[in-house]
């Protein structure tokens, strides 16, 4: 199971880690932490030394209730960072966390090699055509509503079946446009109750039927720390447990704040599967 990142083939039959680089002032866990060149470089160096295959760069906060920012502001935040990363780490596989096709295109033209879209094309009707033109791997995530309203009253007939059907339609459309490398992310916490999140985690293995790799983003989310009555800062252990469950259910990429611990989970599950 390979994906082609602008000429670099990445084999996802062994799960990989995507480290998170948020350059937003208001992201839910690490907002405002990486606001200088040195802080960004040090963080990326740390993630790479701990075994990250990809680094996902986001300049638009998508936490529940997040403030909407303009395309111009997102561009002004992200383009200098992409230039910096390409200069410092020429072979780095950069994923762009954006739902805007203009930003995706400009970042890929600068050297990014993947697009991670929380809206799966729903918030920008030009995104699918742009991905078809760029021919880079494309992460499609399921979200009910928008970041501003997604957690108000999420409703499903059957969350697992509804999300599977959503992806099947999106994947068929993308295939018809000539997009080959599609990755599905069920969107934990994006328009789902705690119960619905755990139904998706429990049945994540069913998403193998889509015949595309799956990305899982569970890192330090409220579905983990709220039921345990702890803070985000205390949620690393819960994150590792949830990531391990996801791996046992077939996850191919773990998108995380804590790369070392995610890679340890991958190694343990790999040992388990050998025996």
C-alpha span between 160 and 197 (Å, rounded): 9
Query: Does residue 255 have an active-site annotation?
Result: yes
pLDDT > 80? residue 152:
no
Render pLDDT for 19-62 as a digit per residue (tens, 0 to 9): 999 887 644 444 445 568 888 999 999 999 999 999 999 888 76
For 169-216, the pLDDT digits (tens) are 999 999 999 999 999 999 999 999 999 999 999 999 999 999 999 999
pLDDT at 181: 97
Amino acid 31: pLDDT? 45
**Measuring CA to CA, how many Å separate 29 from each of 10, 14, 62, 169?**
28, 28, 12, 32
pTM for the full predicted model: 0.92
Q: HSE (CB half, 13 Å, CA atoms) of 179?
A: 25
Pick 2-274's CATH classification: 1.20.120.430, 3.30.1600.10, 3.30.300.30, 3.20.20.20.
Answer: 3.20.20.20
Nearby residues of 269 by Cβ (< 8 Å), 6 or more positions away: 15, 244, 247, 248
What was the pLDDT predicted at 1? 85
Does residue 151 have a pLDDT over 70? no
What local confidence, expressed as pLDDT, does residue 33 receive?
Answer: 58
For β-strands 182-185 and 215-216, DSSP reports them as unpaired
Please identify which of the residues 221, 226, 267, 274 carries the catalytic annotation. Answer: 221
pLDDT digits (tens, 9 = 90+) for 101-117: 999 999 999 999 999 99
pLDDT beyond 80 at 149: no
What CA–CA distance (Å, rounded) separates 36 from 210? 40
Q: CA–CA separation, 242 vs 197, rounded Å? A: 11
Mean pLDDT of 257-261: 97
Catalytic-labelled residue, pool 16, 63, 77, 255 = 255
Mean pLDDT across the chain, nearest whole number?
92
3-state secondary structure of 153: coil
**CA dist., res. 6 & res. 265, Å (int):** 28
């Amino acid at each position: 199971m390979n994906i082609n990142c602008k000429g670099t083939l990445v084999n996802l039959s062994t799960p990989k880690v995507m480290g998170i680089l948020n350059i937003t002032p208001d992201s839910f866990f690490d907002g405002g932490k990486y606001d200088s060149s040195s802080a960004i470089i040090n963080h990326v160096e740390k993630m790479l030394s701990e075994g990250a295959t990809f680094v996902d760069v986001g300049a638009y906060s998508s936490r529940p209730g997040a403030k909407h920012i303009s395309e111009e502001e997102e561009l002004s935040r992200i383009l200098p960072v992409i230039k910096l990363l390409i200069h410092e780490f020429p072979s780095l596989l950069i994923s762009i966390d954006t739902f805007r096709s203009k930003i995706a295109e400009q970042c890929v033209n600068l050297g990014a090699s993947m697009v991670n879209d929380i809206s799966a094309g729903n918030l920008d009707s030009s995104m699918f055509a742009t991905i078809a033109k760029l021919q880079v791997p494309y992460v499609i995530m399921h979200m009910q509503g928008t970041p501003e309203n997604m957690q108000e009253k999420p409703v499903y007939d059957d969350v697992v079946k509804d999300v599977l059907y959503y992806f099947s339609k999106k994947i068929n459309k993308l295939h018809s446009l000539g997009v080959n490398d599609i990755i599905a992310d069920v969107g934990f916490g994006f328009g789902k109750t705690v119960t619905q999140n755990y139904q998706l985690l429990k049945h994540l293995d069913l998403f193998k039927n889509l015949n595309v790799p799956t990305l899982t983003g569970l890192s330090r989310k409220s579905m983990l720390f709220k039921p345990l009555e702890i803070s985000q800062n205390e949620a690393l252990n819960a994150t590792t447990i949830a990531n391990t469950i996801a791996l046992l259910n077939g996850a191919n990429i773990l998108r995380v704040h804590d790369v070392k611990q995610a890679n340890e989970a991958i190694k343990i599950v790999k040992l388990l599967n050998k025996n």
